[in-house]
Amino acid sequence: MVDVGGKNPTERLAVARAEVRLTANAAAALREATLAKGDALVAAQIAGIMAAKQTASLIPLTHPLPLSFIDVTFSWEGDVLLIDARAKTVAQTGVEMEAMTAASVAALTIYDMAKAIDKGITIERVRLLSKSGGKSGFWKADNV
């Protein structure tokens, strides 16, 4: 684990995205909340938030962080579900892994809840969109 003990705590924010490609039937069922397991978007939002809080237990060598905010939101580009996760803290290290964990687990939850309709759903492009705070300051991915 990297020693961050000498660093000053600063406000840090990270935004990550996962893309879930669905068939038209699976996307329609998700939009209309008609999946047999229930409202997948609500379940995925809760799963992502819970996962962010467990990042240090899931990813070796990450620091446990006191999250002050985590949110998971959804939008559509055709039949591709965009899952955006925002994580915020005041700490000595960043929250990129928490945001990426939230987006990833939310995407896995969508797959789990919609697999009865289509097992060919794919989870694509889990990536960091932006981060701010800390020594390196603001960073934004290209093409965002």
The counts of H helices and E strands in the chain are 4, 5
Do residues 4 and 100 make contact, with C-beta atoms less than 8 angstroms apart? no
The yes-or-no answer on residue 112 being catalytic is yes
Q: Point out the catalytic residue in the list 71, 79, 112, 118.
A: 112
Give the list of residues 6+ apart from residue 48 with CB closer than 8 angstroms, or none. Answer: 70, 72, 83, 85, 102, 103, 105, 106, 109
- Alpha helix stretches (DSSP H) within 1-144: 24-32, 40-53, 55-58, 96-114
Q: Which of the residues are catalytic?
A: 112
